[in-house]
Amino acid sequence: MLNIGILGFGTVGKATFEILQERIDVIEASVGDEIIVKKIFVRNKNKHNYDNIDANLFTDVISEVVEDDSVDIIIEATGDVGVVYEGIKVAIANGKHIITANKEMVSRHFEELNQLANKHDIQLKYEAAVGGAIPILCQIPKIRELNEIVEINGVLNGTCNFILSAMEKGMDYNKALLDAQQAGFAEADPTADVEAYDTVRKLRILATLAFGVKVAEDEITREGIINVSKKEIDTSKKNGMRIKLVAHAKKTKDGIEAFVKPTEVEINSVLGGLEDGENAVSVVCDNAGELVFKGKGAGGRPTAFSILSDFLAIACK
């Protein structure tokens, strides 16, 4: 029997639980064992609808999950860094495998988390922290075995891509942002997205893995989309270009060059062809050339897909 503890039951945590229940027979057959969700941590139990879910699964005391000796795997989907990060460290010390979608936590504590995982001989997986449903992080080690990765380019934020796509269709920034929030792409406070902090965190994780050296957040030049004007977008379009929030990292003779900023890309290119919440990553290698990964970069179920892919990678070993 494999027991799971879930931290967070918002859009991503709930979608993960639902897919797990919907496909439990297939997943258990793949794993070769029974799978039980033992406990779910939420900040406020009164905010959740428990229709068709046993209310006794829920707790607002994180230690009841991370210190439960019967829990084998923790799925973290809170987006929190403070209390949850401390809980994750406790869980690792207690020998629990960790799966997280929390790009801020992984980016801020990347080296420490990986060192703790190695020390306690547990698996730490964070595919869902970068690119939503796109299986990019799991491919990087495989690519590096036979290649030197020299450059990465990507569109890694569904909110910004949604807003820029809407502005191309004639919408002003504020209306596009409101539509992104109503569509579930943007948070009530969209600062992390539109000011490019979210993309910087994702690039920090991706570049550190790809180049095998620490690429810190403060080493990445950052510019968000809030100052992109409708006039700039229209001019780019007339010239066969589109403006995208591009994440770029490249090996140079002086080290790693990295930035996130609104950038013109050719309208018929991989990045230029992205619409709404789509993401894409281009990985340039010395042997394989350019490898492109594309898919849904946001949303509950696409992100839950990556979480459960990590779960299968752990449980099927």
* Residues belonging to the active site: 202
Helices (H), the chain: 11-22, 24-31, 63-66, 82-93, 103-108, 110-119, 140-146, 158-168, 173-182, 191-194, 197-211, 230-238, 300-315
Q: What order of strands is seen across the sheet that includes strand 290-296?
A: 221-222, 255-266, 241-252, 149-155, 278-285, 290-296
Is 302:184 a contact under the CB 8 Å cutoff? no
Tokens of 61: 């005391």
User: How many residues are given for the chain?
Assistant: 317
Q: Rounding to the nearest 10 degrees, give the CA dihedral for residues 300, 305, 309, 314.
A: 30
| Ramachandran angles phi, psi of 20, nearest 5° | -60, -40
Q: What is the CA radius of gyration of the chain?
A: 20
Tokens of 134: 């796109």
